Amino acid sequence: MKVLVLCVNREKFPDPVFPIGASYIAHSVKKAGFEVSIFDACFSSDVEEELKQKLVKYKPDVIGFSIRNVDNISFPIAENYLPYYKDLISVCKKNSTAKIVLGGSGFSIFPELYMEELKADYGVRGEGEHSFVKLLKDIQNNNEPTKKIINSVSIENINLIPDRIGFDVEQYFKFSGCLNIQTKRGCSFSCNYCTYPLLEGTSYRFRTKENVVDEIEYWYNEKGINYFFFVDNVFNFPENFAKSICEEIIRRKLKINWTGFFIPKVDDQEFLDVCIESGLTSIDFGTDAFSTNTLLGYDKSFTVDDIFKACDICNKKNIKFNHSLIFGGPNETIQTLNETIDNINQTNPTSVIGFIGVRLYSGTPLANKIKDIDIGITPVFYISPDVKDVIIDILKEKIMDKPNWIVTGLEKGTNTKLFNRMRNKGIKGPLWEMFTNFSKN
């Protein structure tokens, strides 16, 4: 049986993201003995025509339609990707008789709604490495399930190296500046807006340090890829596990660079020293807010003092760092908004990436508290009533003259042509690292 894994994401801001989830699926499908082909829309110049040609030529029996993003989470200029997905589903149905199976993190957040809108044959909610393969076997054996949405069970052994064959890895490395690596799944934190606990569970499942670094070493030796992004929702927790990864990189004498998402709570300077020795060049802090009341409103596990301490250590060790922020969350007031901006400036960050409002997703604690809003595929954002009418004006006044700030909703710092020129010159790593050239003068 022939399976086409269809990766539909075309979002390239701030960088194109390699479809690591789909590559895990492709690996599992191939390992189960099925024939697999990939169609990745990210770099396509004419998606619908190229997809049509692929369908006609390959003649798949099953199409795995991977939905990563629901929208671009950019209030007040949010773009819903559903119309685009409908167009691709139409191309699939017009040019193939294959069964269409929806999956991916975006689908898993709104499975019933996507099934209703896209009229697919099946959908796999959650991790699909086992469930999708079982569905393929059932289809092959004419034993198709009556339930249209299959709920996956979390995979305990995640020592899998994703099969990236069929994907243009070099193109992703060129235009994203790094290759993404996942070391674990799950999240034990309780940020009330976040979907990670829903998608991956609240208990951690770890790859072995050897398995992780085997993957890094393969791409380093085979393709010369020397910059990696640890895409765990929080890389530096548990700290001992993260440290073991770094020590294994050092033991193998791999001359690589890397970055990752960190919680802004760094108590052990020795841990950061090991990170630096293994190739750490920058840290992306999931700060979200820099005011006590707003941090409490997000149910954050760290404090204002923790953030200041983490940034102070980074500055002393010359580690570049970015603050990722969400303005307007629970408990946000004009005072807390100004406090966040003022505190951020005190830390002297390399860059700041901000979002306006909290995108609401069904099943999250924050969404469960809000009863008067219809939450679905169409983007809906929570903004504290205390700042709802003034937040955009305040942000424009306070941050528009800051060259190292990016706020997508205000279209500030979103010059994609500039970013492409920088990538074409061979610049690797997060492009916000470059802001250090002019933000600290």
Check residue 267 and give its pLDDT.
84
Q: CB of 290 within 8 A of CB of 324? A: no
**Quick one: pLDDT at residue 418?**
82
CA distance 111 to 380: 17
User: Residue 136 in contact with residue 32, Cβ under 8 Å?
Assistant: yes
β strands within 68-143, DSSP E = 99-103, 122-125
What is the structure's pLDDT at 362? 93
Q: Evaluate the CA torsion angle 433, 319, 326, 368 in order and state its sign.
A: positive
C-alpha–C-alpha distance, residues 334 and 38, integer Å: 49
Alpha-carbon distance of 168 to 51, in angstroms, equals 16
Residue 37's pLDDT is what? 98
Contact in structure between 40 and 47 (CB atoms under 8 Å): no
Pairing of strands 99-103, 179-181: unpaired
User: Is residue 219 within a helix (H) or strand (E), and if so which, with residue range?
Assistant: helix 209-223
CB atoms within 10 A of CB 45: 6
In the numeric block, the tokens 């269809």 are attached to: 6
Provide the pLDDT for residue 436. Answer: 60
- Looking at the DSSP assignment, which residues form a beta bridge with residue 155? none
What distance in Å separates the CA atoms of residue 279 and residue 226, rounded to the nearest whole number?
10
Please state the pTM of the whole predicted model: 0.94
Q: What share of the chain is helix, strand, coil (3-state, %, to 5)?
A: 40, 20, 40
Q: What does the CA dihedral 154, 160, 163, 164 come to, rounded to 10 degrees?
A: 90
Query: Two tokens at 60?
Result: 């798949």
Q: Which two tokens stand for residue 432?
A: 């916000």
At 324, list the tokens.
Answer: 């990722």
Residue of 157, 61, 62, 58 lying closest to 101 (CA atoms)? 62
Q: What does the alpha-carbon distance between residue 378 and residue 75 come to, in Å, rounded to a whole number?
A: 12
Tell me the domains of the chain and their CATH numbers.
2-151 (3.40.50.280), 169-439 (3.20.20.70)
Pairing of the two strands 282-288 and 179-181: unpaired
Half-sphere exposure of 64 (CA within 13 A, CB side): 35
First to last CA, the chain: 60
User: pLDDT 10s per residue in the chain (441 long)?
Assistant: 999 999 999 998 888 999 999 999 999 999 999 999 999 999 999 999 999 999 999 999 999 999 999 999 999 999 999 999 999 999 999 999 999 999 999 999 999 999 999 999 999 999 999 999 999 999 999 999 999 999 998 898 999 888 888 999 999 999 999 999 999 999 999 999 999 999 999 999 999 999 999 999 999 999 999 999 999 999 999 999 999 999 999 999 999 999 999 999 998 889 999 999 999 999 999 999 999 999 999 999 999 999 999 999 999 999 999 999 999 999 999 999 999 999 999 999 999 999 999 999 999 999 999 878 899 999 999 999 999 999 999 999 999 999 999 998 998 988 778 888 888 889 999 989 988 644 443
Q: Alpha helices of 262-333 — where are they, by DSSP H? A: 269-278, 292-297, 304-316
User: What span, in angstroms and rounded, lies between the C-alpha atoms of 217 and 255?
Assistant: 10
Q: How far apart are CA 278 and CA 251, in angstroms?
A: 9
Residue 157 contacts by C-beta under 8 Å, 6 or more apart in sequence? none
- Calculate helix-pair angle for 169-176, 209-223, nearest 10 degrees: 90
Alpha-carbon distance of 409 to 326, in angstroms, equals: 11
If we measure between CA atoms, which residue out of 352, 440, 429 comes closest to residue 395?
352
The SS3 call for residue 365 is helix
Contact between 324 and 273 (Cβ < 8 Å):
no
